[in-house]
Amino acid sequence: MFENIRQAYLPETNFPVVTIDYGKCKKCGRCSDQCPTFAIESGADKLPRVRGFGGFEQTCFNCWNCVSVCPHDAIRIQGAHSIPGGRYKTRLLGKVEYPDPLRSGGVKPYQEFESQLTGVERVIYTRRSCRLFKDKAVPRETIERILEAGRFAPSAGNSQPYRFAVITDRGIIAELERQSMKMLRQFKDLYLDSRGKKRWWKNILFTLLSLAKVNSIDPRPVPAIEKSDKNGDRLYFNAPAVILIFKNSNGIGNPDLDAGICSQNMALAANSLGLGSCHITFFVEPMKSKGMSAMRRRLGISYPWVPVNSIAIGYPKGTVDGVVKRDTPPSDWFTGD
């Protein structure tokens, strides 16, 4: 009866096993810099180590980005990330496998059938979220090509219920980060426990909060906020360009879906143009608040526009893309046979 509200705070979690070969590791720090959740941290000796903090035993959610950016093949990951029960129970199959679009049964490595794939498929399977950016500006005409890909995304009734704010001014990006982190830090500090304990009053508080905002109280983004806090509020990883996506709240049907499709069109276009990109929604809730009304005015945003997503864009520092494993969602077929 109470399964759907149980373990809303710091739920029991099964983590994948991350193994680092220190014989191969060259202490470059790319794995810890690319990790979104502070799951890997480089110590004073510059050696990366898997860690937990604030009540989290670990924080890895199996994105494999550390594997893809390591130039020395020093990291291995085994197993799935799963929450076995409660409010945030994962509902994947636990089959963590490499891409197998031609259904070879996992026998053939990706490199052996890559030539048989379309260009779109290759981008989908190799693109990784980028958090390692060069200090190099992205030309305006390149960003315009990315926006054009978003313009041609499908939408309900061809209504195109979105607008964009392109920010290449580093000062405005930094101010957006600072103001967003002001609210996010309060939430993060409330959630985490410095002694690593699961306090009864936090359990009650976050259970109640999850009833009102289940998607916003999921534990997995909290470590990412901690990382941004420790890295000078850098929500956008020093990216030279950020595209904010706003939805028309009066849009047809599900404008959030339309904005999501549009966002992915732009991210894939950015990748095809040799850029790295990363979807980042941490600014969304702060941007709605009274505390950021001046920022909204500065960006020209008012009713009916509501923030839904942002994309950090820039030239990747070193190789970021690569083929990784992913868990498998359930699929049901109804064929009539």
Give the Cα separation of 149 and 126 in Å (integer). 19
**Contact indicator for 78, 19 with CB cutoff of 8 Å:** yes
| Domain residue ranges of the chain, discontinuous segments joined by + | 11-124, 133-195+213-314
**Contact indicator for 110, 324 with CB cutoff of 8 Å:** no
- Cβ burial 173-191 (10 Å sphere, 16+ → b, else e): bbbbbebbbebbeebbeeb
- Answer whether residue 122 shows pLDDT above 80: yes
How do residues 195-210 score in pLDDT, each as one tens digit? 888 999 999 999 999 9
Helix (H, G, I), strand (E, B) or coil at 116: helix
- Cβ burial 261-274 (10 Å sphere, 16+ → b, else e): ebbbbbbbbbbbbe
Mean pLDDT of 173-178: 98
Give the Cα separation of 159 and 167 in Å (integer). 25
* Predicted model pTM: 0.95
Give the Cα separation of 66 and 76 in Å (integer). 9
What tokens appear for 174 in the block? 């930094």
Amino acid identity, position 83:
I
Indicate the average pLDDT of the chain: 96
- Answer whether residue 3 shows pLDDT above 80: no
CA dist list (Å): 294 to 127, 186, 218, 297: 36, 20, 29, 5
For 248, the enclosing helix (H) or strand (E) is strand 241-248
Give the Cα separation of 129 and 277 in Å (integer). 6
Helix (H, G, I), strand (E, B) or coil at 287: helix
How do residues 68-115 score in pLDDT, each as one tens digit? 999 999 999 999 999 999 999 999 999 999 999 999 988 889 999 999
Share of the chain above pLDDT 90, in %: 94
Q: Are strands 40-42 and 48-50 parallel, antiparallel or unpaired?
A: antiparallel
Q: What number of other Cβ atoms are within 10 A of residue 10's Cβ?
A: 22
What tokens appear for 108 in the block? 């053939």
- Answer whether residue 46 shows pLDDT above 80: yes
Question: What's the confidence (pLDDT) of residue 337?
Answer: 77
What tokens appear for 262 in the block? 């549009």
Going by CATH, does the domain composed of 11-124 fall within 2.60.120.620? no
Amino acid identity, position 286:
P
- The correct CATH number of 133-195+213-314 out of 3.30.470.20, 3.40.109.10, 3.30.565.10, 3.40.50.620 is 3.40.109.10
Residue carrying the six token digits 């994948």: 16
CA torsion 174-160-141-301 (nearest 10°) is -30
